[in-house]
Each structure stands twice: as structure tokens, then as C-alpha cells.
A and B are shown apart, each in its own frame.
Chain A
């Protein structure tokens, strides 16, 4: 099935809220009325506010910390330093290499050094300013291109290499009749979720703590908090508070341990909520990247070989850099058939802000390079830019550059054909300056404005890769309350805005035939759901909910079979009735269950993935691939370097859309983030210092920047995935940016080898 997105309301697809229908969010009304409780909205009797004192230096030794003055500030209830961390002073997603509070050395600007709790946030901030930290400033390693030099100062005792992934396939040292190459630089992007890092820690009577926090993965948070607090998991209970966006930036800890430490010390509930400036220091960013690529091809454009080096700046701590390198290496040449491959991907430590997960995860940076190079190749061999991609695009059954067979749909050519066939926007209306670059700045009435069109295509792994035990857990209960059947779904999966709560309801309705489905708050009293990242939750937690529902259904039918004295075979649930093989109603759910509830818990695992060979990078690293293509149309004022994105159209294969309306919403939002990176979004870091930690200086796309988007959704079911689903959230962020960059290049005729593209790059001054 394919469907061109028009107006979902007009098509009237709102149904009973089952799988495949447009379903409304259960939290939608609360969110439009202001009643939905985000982490930063939490409040508790007798609570105090916690704040963080952070390092002003990218690299320094801490000689001494004097908290005396801060403690004398009226209203202050606690001041904590590294000495007050009762467990191990370390946390981290892949390696526990980051201190909860810096003890002897700080490795990046903004590293937490001390904590204050007080009865008013301003009191706490002023007290924090009175903590005296005696720093010995040390030379900072801030150029990642020097990080692996022999004379580079080591950021950590083990050296500056986080991970090197070599990838060797086919014949090394191949030559080809046509050779093109490119060097690309990608700036540091911020997730810029609107809801700042926040949490409320409440000390409990058993000596433990209850933490309510905005996050992406409750159980990995819990594991890290326990390590730092020196407590067993049963004493550290973590509940998801309302999450105002995530995009990868909440995979690492922020307020979590700090709030718990302050709550346990003061014996009072402690709320922490970052302001925007602190948020820029309080979470990891997308890795800046330096990429050198070379493609060799036959005269008709058929790829013969690729050589590539990718360097990612991991900043001061490892976070998920290892996995990002994994993606940048194994997926870094794009969705193309390339028989001979030499890739080296590196992630390094520096004294820059730590980098980690962000939507697209290593594929975003690489796509700017491989897509720029595909355009160069097209031009070099005189082939259309869409055709060069069609010709080399992966197809089902092909092997990718790690030798893995693509064992479900790989519709690269079809996605390109479909996006290319979408109507183009009309020429710029020079009578309305709002439609022109510079808009009401009144910088042009059309003079100097050139139109450009760019294409890009990508693929992204879905779920965790390289042998990770990737699973989710769901608990489903069915009971009849007040004469109505109600299903309750309980998982630890983080709803961060994407609509997983809706998907869980849709699956339960579909599997159990009931209308009322309650999704209870995610917490650690049920097994792990894994992370809300890697476009994986609809697939993996969706699979767990489906499995738990199936178990509940079987249990109910077994009860009915006993009560009816009939064989189980042929019985099924239909609405709130048990029906026989011919559809005849045999009994009601209420009669079968009475006052009992049937509850089942199930884990779901996708097919295993495998580590890649450490020397060749070969192996079945990924479980699923998701493909998307974009076409961008831009008008560029080539004299001033201003860009107006006129259209940003896309085609994407989603396997099967559980909630088509929400799928399109993901594609819209993901496309906007890719466009932002291409044109405006960059955390500017010089000498280890962040220069623009605010929404005044870090530019996000507004409604004036975003063009209308035509979205074409393909549904080629993945036979290995629940309902055939394919991850949706990330591909649009990967292919939209390179399409925009290509369109700007097309308009201005300059190579534009760095993103975000700045006006001076376009004008060449």
C-alpha cells in the first residue's frame, strides 16, 4: 500500500484506534490544556531546589574547593562535592568514565563540580556562585584532528582514541576510470529539545529514593544511579516524568544522580531544572565530523570502489561515541552497492563538549559526504543526479559494505522515482517579499535570486546493533471494570513525544479487541524496554506489547474453553465476546473473567545482530534498515548568501504504518532537524568554549523557515518485524540535510563543503 499524504482530516481515516488507523494521542488533551505534567512542572510539599556549579575551563586541575561561604547563605540546605558521592564517582553509557562531580580534574567547559540545594532556585544559584574553586588551568586539546598525534596531551590515561573501526571489503587499492573525491566538515548540532533537563528526587522511608525524571531509558539510568549511590536497584526507583522532546540528548544522565544525592543528604524532595544555557552544557551533542571520501567508478557511473576516512570529535567523555563510530563506519557510504571498500572511522577524546546520541546517529554526518560525492560523480560521468543514485542504489538481496544481505525491501530507486515525480513548486513570486530569501528584511525583490534543486537518499539501522542484547518488556492486564473490558499496558518505554503511548494502545486494541486501553506511567517496576532511540520502540516495545497481549488472549480463551467445556481451537476474542469457529457468540468476557484480572508479562527480542570483525568490519551488524529520499528546492540570494527553502519533499518506506498520521509527523519533524543542520544549527565551540549557548544565538528552524512538505509513505512490510514495521524517526533527519545542501550548491555553483552553510560560504567572501 502506498498513500500520498494529503489532509489526514479530510480523508477521514480516524477509526477505532487500531493498528493501521490514524489514532489520537491519549495525552493530547492534557498537553493542549497545560495539564500534562512535564518533569519541570513537578512540585512537592517541602521541596528544595538543586543547582549545579560547572567548570568554566575546558581543562583544569582542581586544587581545592571551599564551600564555607556558600553554606552560610540563608536558605541553603546542602552543598555537595565529589567527596559526598557515596558510591563510585563515575557514570557513562558505554564506559563509566565520567565523574558525577569532578574530583581532581575537569575535562570540558561545563563539567559539574558541586551541587547546592536551597529553598529558592535563585538562592541556590547565588550560593553556588560563592563556592570557591581553585583551578590550575591546563592546556586544552580542542582540535580533534590532532587528538591522535603522538605529542597530543592525553585527555584520559588510556589515550585519546575512543574507537577505530576499520572496514575492508573486496580488493584494496583498486583504481577506476573515473575518480571523484571530497572533504566535508559537519558542525556540532544540538538536540534542542524544548523541555529542559528536569527531575524530582524524593527520599523514601526505606533509605532509598524515588526519582521522577525526563529521560530515554529508565533502566540504564537506574543502573548508573545505583553505581553512584552505592545502592541496590530496589532502593532506586525511577519513573518517567513528562518528556519535552529528546532526540538522543536524554540518553545520558543529567540531573539524575545529582538530584538523588541532594535528596538523600537533605532528607527533602529536591527539584532540579536546567535553564536553556545550562542545558547546552548539560547534555551531549551530535559529533562534529571531518570526512574525506573518494569514489571510483566506471564511465557509466557504476561504483567500483570507495575509500573514506571519518573523524568524529567525541569530546571529553565516551558517552555513545563507540556506537556512533560503528554507524559512521558500517553505514557511512550510504545505500549503495560498492564492491571494494576501504573505510576508517575514528572517534576521539578532546576537551570539547562531550558528544553522543542524536537522531541519525553517525549516519547524518556521513550522508553529507556520500551525497555530495554522488552529485560529483553524476557530473563527472554526465549522468543525471537521480539516475546515478538509482543505478548504484541497494536492492533487496544485495550485500552492503559489511557484507550483510539486505533481507527485506531496499527501495532506493523507487523512493527516488517517487520523490522526483512529486510536483515542483512554482517559480518564486517576486511580488511577495515574504516568499523570498531575506523575506521582510526587504533585501531583494528577486534580483540575485537563483533556484536550486537537490536530491539525497539514505539508509539507517533500526534498533541496537553489533551484538547488543536488544529487547523490551511489556506487562498487559485485562479485566472487566464497571461492565467494560479494560486493558492496561505497562512498560518502561519512554514516551518522548513520538507517540509510543498511542502505538501501545493501538496494538492492545487490535490484539485484544477491547476499546479501553490504559497505558500506565513507565517506571522501573517492570522490566527494561531498552532505549527510546535508534527508531526502535515501535518495533521492539511494540513487539513486546503484541506478545503480552497474545499471552493474555490465550489465557482468557483457555478459561473460556474450560468454562464452556470446549476445545481451545477455534475460539477467539471479538470485541468483548468469545466467539466460536463460525463467529457464533459463546460467552461474554465479563462472564469468563468475573472479578479476575488476567495479566501476562513478555519480553520481545529482535533477531540477533553480530559484532563486526575487528580487522575488516565485516559482519551482520544490523537487524533492519530504513530508507528515505528527499528533494529540496531552494531560492538563494547569491549576492547576500541568504537561503529560502521553498520545498522539502520526501519519500520513505516505513514497513507498515501503525499510526499513519504520527508517521507523517515524525517525517516532518525529522526533516526539519536535517534542514536545520544544513543551514543554521551549530553549537559554535572555540578553544573548548561554547560561544552560543542560548536560543538567541543557536538558531532553530521557525515556522517561517520551514517550507510545505509533500510526504509519500511506502509500506513494504518487513517480514521479520512485528506487523511489518520499519523504524521511522531517523531517516528523514539523515536525507533532508544533504538534499538541502545539494540544492544550495545547485543554486550558487559553489562546492560548499561545510555544514551548516553560512552566508559567506555562498557568496565566497
Chain B
């Protein structure tokens, strides 16, 4: 199967894709974008979160073929020419990164939250990130990071 899809703004072509492959496998093993992580294969941990046509999805639950003709944004596409995305910068500064395996999924999900809700309350942050497991931090500094990014975003 040939898969043609736009990833981080660039059209990508992959040939000989096995129909059972996930979008996650396509990104990681065929397109050289290992930022989205494979940690559970069941959509439970959120480590593989990417945007598909602007909606956050678990790439492990999307078949590669479902991405044909669509637009995917991964964690690699989050930072721009002018540096890290504010959420990424806040994660580094707030100490929200330990082993970091959950981090790509969390920064994608948190950036999605802040795009929709610029000044989220703590319950709103918790609800938005409830599908992202982290085993290292106990989530406290992840909350700090999202609050920090939101406060900076709110400034003109």
C-alpha cells in the first residue's frame, strides 16, 4: 500500500506499507519521526499523541492508511524556526521532564489545550491531560509547566 500524507507541512510518501500498520509505525519507522512514542499500543498512555487534521489523536490507534490525504503534526513540528513552542520551553524550565518518554505526547496535548483554552483552570488542565500517563513526575511539575506556559501566553 502507498501512503501519501502531509506531515509537519511536508508531503510524505511511503510505499509497501502493510495494511495493519499504525500511523505511529509509519511515522516512527518509515518517515524517520520517532518523537511520538510507543508505550502501550492501546490508546491508554497518550505518549504517541499527534494532531491529525488539527485533532489530537493517539497515533497507535490510527491505521496508517487512515492518514492518506490528511495532515499530521507531530512533536517534531511543534517548535518553529524561532525556537521551542512555549509549552516545550515551559516543560524544560519547570522541571516537568524526567525520563521524558511521556513528554512528546504531553506537550502536544498541552499545546492543544492552550490553543483552545488560553487560561485553563487546574481542573481543566487535569481533565485535558487525563489521557497522558507519566510514571516519573507525579504530574505536579507538569501542572507547573502548563500554568507557566499559559501565564506567558496571556501576556501581550
Structural contact, B126 and A9, CB atoms closer than 8 A? no
**Contact among A33, A435, A661, A672 with B139 in the assembled complex (CB-CB below 8 Å):** A672
Task: Give the contacting residue for A275; candidates B36, B41, B88, B138; CB below 8 A.
Answer: B41
Q: Is B150 an interface residue (CB 8 A)?
A: no
Beta-carbon nearest neighbor of A708 in chain B = B140
**B20 proximity list for chain A (CB < 8 A):** 122
Q: Please state if B127 and A704 are interface contacts (CB–CB under 8 Å).
A: yes
CB distance from A30 to the nearest CB of B (A): 8
- Taking CB atoms, residues of chain A closer than 8 Å to B138 are 668-672, 701, 706, 709
Q: Which segment, of A20-28, A83-91, A745-753, faces chain B?
A: A20-28
Q: Which residues from B are CB-within-8-Å of A499?
A: 98
Q: Is A194 an interface position by the 8 A CB rule?
A: yes
Q: How far is the CA of A244 from the CA of B47 in the complex (A)?
A: 11
The stretch among A35-43, A57-65, A634-642 that forms the contact with chain B is A35-43
CB < 8 Å neighbour of A703 from B42, B44, B104, B132: B132
- Interface residue from A27, A704, A708 paired with B100 (Cβ < 8 Å): A27
Total contacts A to B, CB within 8 angstroms?
A: 187
Bound complex: CA A275 to CA B100 (Å): 18
Q: Contact check: which of B126, B131, B136, B143 meets A669 at CB < 8 Å?
A: B136
Expressed in whole angstroms, the Cα–Cα distance for A516 and B80 within the complex equals 26
Stretch at the interface among A289-297, A453-461, A692-700: A692-700
**1/0 contact string of A242-256 vs chain B (CB within 8 Å):** 011111000000000
Shortest Cβ gap from B121 to chain A (Å):
10
Given contacts A7-B144, A194-B45, contact A703 B37 (CB under 8 A): no
A276 on the interface (CB 8 Å rule)?
yes
A232 CB to nearest B CB, Å: 33
Q: How many residues of A contact B (CB 8 A)?
A: 64
Q: Known contacts A28-B92, A194-B37, A276-B41: does B136 contact A34 (CB below 8 Å)?
A: no
- Interface bits A693-730 vs B (CB < 8 Å: 1, else 0): 01110001111101011000000000000000000000
A316 within 8 A of B: no
Question: Known contacts A34-B76, A122-B20, A695-B133; is A194 also within 8 Å of B47 by CB?
Answer: yes
Nearest-Cβ distance from residue A754 to partner chain B, whole angstroms: 24
Chain B residues closer than 8 Å to A708, beta-carbon distance: 140
Docked-complex contact A32 and B91, CB < 8 angstroms? yes
Contact A32 B123 (CB under 8 A): no
**Are the C-beta atoms of A703 and B144 separated by less than 8 Å?**
no
A-binding residues in B (CB < 8 A): 18, 20-21, 28-29, 32-42, 44-45, 47, 74-76, 78-79, 84, 88-89, 91-95, 97-104, 107, 123, 125-127, 129-144, 148
Please, could you name 16 A-B residue pairs with CB atoms under 8 Å apart, sorted by A?
Answer: A9-B144, A32-B103, A33-B88, A34-B33, A34-B35, A40-B37, A43-B29, A247-B135, A273-B38, A664-B140, A665-B98, A668-B137, A701-B138, A702-B131, A703-B132, A709-B138
Given contact pairs A25-B97, A32-B103, a sample of 12 additional A-B residue pairs in the complex whose CB atoms are under 8 Å apart: A9-B148, A24-B95, A29-B88, A32-B75, A34-B33, A34-B34, A122-B18, A195-B39, A432-B123, A498-B98, A665-B98, A695-B133
- Nearest 6 A-B pairs (CB), nearest first? A34-B35, A497-B99, A31-B100, A244-B101, A668-B138, A672-B138
